[in-house]
Structure 1
Amino acid sequence: MSFTQLDYHWFQLINQLGNTIPALNPIMRLLASYAEYVFYIGIVIYWFTRHDLKRRMIAESLLSACVAVAFSGILAHFFYRDRPFVTHNVIQLIAHPANASFPSDHAIGAFVIATSIWIHRRKEGKLWLVLAAGIAFSRIWTGIHYPSDVIGGAVIGIAAAVLIHQLFKRSSLALTWLNKCIHCYEAVESKIWRRNVSPQSSVNEL
């Protein structure tokens, strides 16, 4: 059995669960379409706790995501593959454009953020990794990705997060640059915050 045949075999096994266990289809639709927003909300919450380590963690995750998505675009261009619903009869539970299937950008985004959190906050990071795995699995269940798409995306996301973290861990110059960027943002944020609070303070004094 070739790799392509094996990939399709496992896709069929997972995708057919939509018929075997239809009660889980709404959950899989939710994970495949909307669970990524939990990561975005998490990023905002971590960032606005105004904790230095959390802000460094989020800065690393966003930079890692940019690197991973750029690499994904290159791979998609040179190793283009149609989505399962284009080539085969599948149980497609959510609508999706017929664009490049490999690698899965959803898996990349979920795993790059989850891994960045796990590196800095192991206990919380495990929960984020479970959610990332759920998103990846749901993309196969709903018929829009092959297993190798999400595995490839997960590997890219994890690798990008680890490499960027190691860059800042081993390079004092890179870490200094990152801290300066964060401090510049905080200075701007502080000015905006004071500007918004000052008129209200004046009204209260009157």
Structure 2
Amino acid sequence: MPTSFEALNLTWFEKINASQNASNAMIDLAIFIANDVLYLLILFLLFLWFYGDQQLKERALRAVFFTAIALGMGFIISTLYYHPRPFVMGVGRTLIHHAPNASFPSDHMLIFSTIAWSYLFSGRKFAGSLLLVLAGLVAWSRVYLGVHFPMDMLGAFSIAFLVNILGIWIWKLAGQFILESSTQLYATVCKPLLEKGWIK
């Protein structure tokens, strides 16, 4: 990362990272957003898949498929380019434990922003906008707690957008096959539950 970007990154980090005077309530809120909201998102997507109609299933599957691509790209980038986390560099306050692996790009932000863009691009403006707001809160919380830099979030946000742009073409070519294959596998594995009407 060029020096000018690194300086800007550090400046933004210092403005967002929790100060010594941060309240326990704010820290607890940030920890909840940073760590636990992801599980709520996963439960939401699982609910859509198990109980939604075909359109809801397709949108959930598309979002997960694009997220897998985005995470794969993030893994490649972080392998080729290692940027240390704030606590590795000895800057700011770190308020949650995290392994000292590559900081850029943020996996959490890749997940939330890829899913948000996927819903926006599939015409679900309300859901997509709500997920974008949630992604912004996750970005804030991870920087506030000292495990990421702002550029980690901006990078992940940009990757997520790019994946969804390319994903329009990918889904046109392979989306129907992916959906049918996933639905058939689901019907086979979950046949007893489907027959009893416990899931759809």
Would you call these one fold, judging by a TM-score over 0.5?
Answer: yes
TM-score normalised to the size of structure 1?
Answer: 0.85
Larger Rg: 1
Q: Which runs of 5+ in 1 are unaligned?
A: 199-206
Equivalent AA in structure 2 for residue 176 of structure 1: Q
**Structure 1 residues 194, 46: CA separation in 2 closer, same or farther (over 3 Å shift)?**
closer
Q: Select 1:132's aligned residue among 135, 147, 150.
A: 135
Which runs of structure 2 are paired with 1:183-194 in the superposition (5 Å)? 183-188=183-188, 191-193=191-193
1:80 corresponds to: 82
Calculate the TM-score normalised by the size of structure 2: 0.87
How big is the shift at 1:175? Answer: 3.2
State whether residues 32 and 138 of structure 1, in contact with CA within 8 Å, keep that contact through their aligned partners in structure 2.
yes
Identity %: 28
Partner residue, 1:62: 64
Larger mean CA deviation between 155-164 and 61-70 belongs to 155-164
Deviation, 1:108, is 0.4
| Higher normalized helix content (fraction of residues) | 1
Contact 1:11 1:140 in 2 (8 A): yes
Counterpart Cα distance in 2 of 1:116 and 1:104: 18
Q: Which residue number corresponds to residue 48 of structure 2?
A: 46
Measure, in 1, the Cα distance between the counterparts of 2:9 and 2:190: 52
Aligned residues: 193
Q: Quick one: which amino acid aligns to residue 161 of structure 1?
A: N
**What is the CA distance between 1:77 and its match in structure 2?**
1.1
Shift of 1:191: 2.7
- The answer as to whether partners of 1:113 and 1:161 remain within 8 angstroms in 2 is no
Contact persistence 1:83–1:145 (CA under 8 A)? yes
- Measured after TM superposition, the shift of residue 136 of structure 1 is 1.0
- Quote the RMSD (CA, aligned, Å): 2.1
The residue aligned with 2:176 is 176
Alignment of 1:99-118 (within 5 A): 99-118=101-120
Unaligned segments of structure 2, at least 5 residues: none
- Cα deviation code 1:66-110 (max 9, x no counterpart): 111111111101110110011123211111111111110010011
| AA aligned opposite 2:40 | V
